[in-house]
């Protein structure tokens, strides 16, 4: 939910820049739209590895504030501030073995969007990498951004996208998948895509090239339709990524179905990666990866397959109960991961919710097995 707010003189000048000096301050403030999220998360893991017990707990915080200011009829100025950690991730404070600390404030996005051409939006500047291969915004996790230009245009039911970035934060991104590629942050990124929306079906195809690192393409399909009293939402995606410094051809495909009937919902999904590699994204939770539940993810796994299954019930207007199960087999490492957890979600209002999870996570591997009891509390406010 977005709303207009009154701002201090300093904040208004920072957002509106030269526009504020060209018109009355009261008018400049009226053109500032503020939105964002405030999130807190507590994790508690009790883990036994090879007969040795260990525990870890952490408090995680992240605040993101988006400021949008109308410069004129054709141009909008956009900024995003994050109070958290490096890479746009939540800052983890008050760990069981650390003292209290304060998060830092970063300016993660600053750009201008031009809409003077019919059915077209062109954004120039420091912005989120909004592609299927990346995760550009997240209320709690890391965010991948870059400096460049993004253009979107609608032609009937088709949306065409093209982007070029000459700098990114992938060198400082806290995501291990991004760091493992050894990126310097100055690699050029080229992205092109097409999205078709027709008759309740969405199909998309994208291509991405990261200089001296990889080129990749992905094809996705999603739909939503009603059969009697049941809503069915199938999905499928295939992604291929070729590393420039390796002969390995990374592939990941996934297929699944979501169903909703009255207060009851269910989901069943299956995914598989190639025996040469499963790195098909720059973030575990990107669309080209597969990361449906909690600690079990197919993203980045080689020669692996996963099953995700969950059921839920909307027992009241504000309370949802769910049971979630994940099972992953990795043939390259002879590892089996399983996870089962229950969740209670409470939507106090449209802009404020919290959930509590508790479950079991196990890893059957050569050497020392892992048996964990896992718990999480999450609170999030959107404005």
| Nearest C-alpha neighbor of 167 from the set 142, 191, 148 | 148
Question: What ranges do the domains of the chain cover?
Answer: 3-382
The per-residue pLDDT for 17 is: 40
pLDDT of the residue at 206: 98
The predicted structure's pLDDT at residue 296: 96
Q: What is the pLDDT of residue 12?
A: 35
Is the model's pLDDT at 210 over the cut of 90?
Answer: yes
**In 104-121, which positions are buried (b, 16+ CB within 10 angstroms) versus exposed (e)?**
eebebbbbebeeeeeeee
The superfamily CATH assigns to domain 3-382 is: Porin (2.40.160.10)
| Contact predicate 351/1, CB 8 Å | yes
How much is the average pLDDT of 239-263? 94
CA pair distance 301, 136, nearest whole angstrom: 22
Work out the pLDDT band at 368, boundaries 50, 70, 90. Answer: confident
Residues 148-165, mean pLDDT to the nearest whole number: 97
- Mean pLDDT across the stretch 334-341? 96
159-168, 173-182, 236-245, 272-281, range with the lowest pLDDT: 173-182
Cβ(32)–Cβ(4) below 8 Å = yes
Collapsed DSSP state (helix, strand, coil) of residue 121? strand
Average pLDDT, the chain: 88
Range picked from 82-96, 136-150, 252-266 for highest mean pLDDT: 252-266
Kind of pairing between the strands at 264-273 and 249-261: antiparallel
Q: Which of 211, 208, 230 is nearest to 219 (CA)?
A: 208
What is the predicted pLDDT for the residue at 300?
Answer: 92
Confidence of residue 163 (pLDDT cuts 50, 70, 90): very high
Distance CA 319, CA 321 (A): 7
């Amino acid at each position: 939910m977005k709303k207009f707010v009154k701002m201090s003189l300093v904040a208004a000048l920072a957002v509106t820049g030269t526009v504020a000096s060209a018109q009355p301050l009261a008018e400049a403030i009226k053109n500032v739209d503020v939105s964002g999220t405030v999130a807190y998360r507590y994790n508690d893991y009790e883990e036994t590895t090879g007969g040795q017990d260990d525990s870890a707990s952490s408090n995680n915080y992240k605040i993101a504030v988006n400021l949008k200011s109308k410069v004129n009829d054709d141009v909008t100025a956009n900024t995003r501030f994050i109070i958290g950690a490096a890479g746009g991730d939540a800052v983890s404070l008050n760990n069981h073995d650390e003292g209290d600390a304060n998060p830092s404030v970063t300016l993660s996005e600053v750009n201008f969007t031009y809409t003077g051409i019919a059915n077209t939006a062109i954004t120039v500047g420091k912005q989120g990498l909004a592609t299927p291969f990346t995760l550009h915004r997240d209320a709690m996790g890391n965010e991948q951004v870059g400096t460049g230009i993004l253009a979107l245009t609608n032609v009937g039911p088709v949306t065409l996208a093209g982007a070029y970035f000459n700098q990114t934060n992938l060198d400082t991104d806290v995501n291990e998948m991004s760091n493992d590629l050894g990126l310097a942050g100055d690699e050029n990124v080229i992205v092109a895509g097409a999205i078709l929306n027709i008759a309740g079906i969405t199909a998309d195809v994208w291509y991405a090239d990261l200089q001296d690192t990889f080129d990749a393409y992905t094809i996705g399909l999603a739909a939503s339709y009603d059969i009697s009293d049941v809503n069915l939402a199938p999905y499928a995606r295939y992604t291929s990524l070729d590393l420039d410094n390796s002969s390995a051809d990374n592939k990941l495909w996934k297929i699944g179905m979501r169903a909703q009937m009255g207060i009851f919902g269910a989901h069943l999904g299956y995914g598989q990666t190639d025996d040469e590699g499963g790195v098909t994204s720059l973030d575990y939770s990107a669309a080209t990866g597969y990361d449906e539940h909690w600690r079990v993810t197919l993203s980045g796994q080689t020669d692996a397959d996963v099953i995700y299954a969950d059921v839920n019930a909307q027992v009241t207007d504000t309370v949802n109960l769910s049971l979630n199960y994940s099972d992953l087999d990795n043939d390259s490492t002879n590892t089996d991961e399983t996870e089962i957890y229950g969740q209670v979600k409470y939507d106090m209002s449209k802009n404020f919710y919290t959930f509590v999870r508790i479950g079991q996570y196990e890893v059957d591997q050569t050497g020392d097995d892992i048996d964990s009891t896992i718990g999480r509390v999450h609170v999030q406010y959107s404005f």
